[in-house]
Amino acid sequence: QAHLIQSGPEVKSPGASVTISCRPSGDTFTRHYIHWVRQALRQGPEWMGIMNPRTDERTSAQRFRPRVTMLSDTSMKTVYFTLRGLKPEDTAVYYCVEAEGVLYFGEDDDSWGQGTQVTVS
């Protein structure tokens, strides 16, 4: 079901930044929004933000807002998620999810990236 391609695993030191890229396996994004979700080992999901790759519309969860940047390139074929000031508790698998909806995701036509393991140590 992974129709989005994410960048590879990252190992970072505390205080560093990480940037994850996400692009469609086809020519372009087909749904309206990209959600960013992370999941630490044996933990529940954590929603981090949402962006529209075609516009400047984006917002992140308030608790991450000072540390998160979400961008799309001018061709709208790749989106980027940056998390700054990394802490050990940011260790998780980060997913991009292409979805039609703003409020929820995970419908059958939504696409997921394969996940990017970020380890902060």
Check binding of 10 to another protein (CB under 8 A): no
- CB 72 → another protein: shortest distance, Å? 21
If one asks whether residue 107 binds another protein (CB under 8 A), the answer comes out as yes
Q: Quote the Cα angle for 6-8-9, to 5°.
A: 125
- Cα separation, 119 vs 53, in Å, equals 26
**Contact window for another protein (CB under 8 A) among 7-15, 17-25, 57-65, 77-85:** 57-65
**DSSP bridge pairs for 10:** 118
**Residue with structure tokens 């990209």?**
34
Please tell me whether residue 44 binds another protein under the rule CB under 8 A.
Answer: yes
**Residue 92 sits in the site that holds another protein (CB under 8 A):** no
| CB 115, CB 95: distance < 8 Å | yes
Nearer to another protein, 15 or 106 (CB): 106
60 vs 121 by CB, closer to another protein: 60
Chain CA centroid to CA 97, Å: 7
13-21, 24-32, 75-83, 98-106 -> range binding another protein (CB under 8 A): 98-106
Q: 78 and 63 in contact (C-beta within 8 Å)? A: no
Least distance in angstroms from the C-beta of 92 to another protein? 13
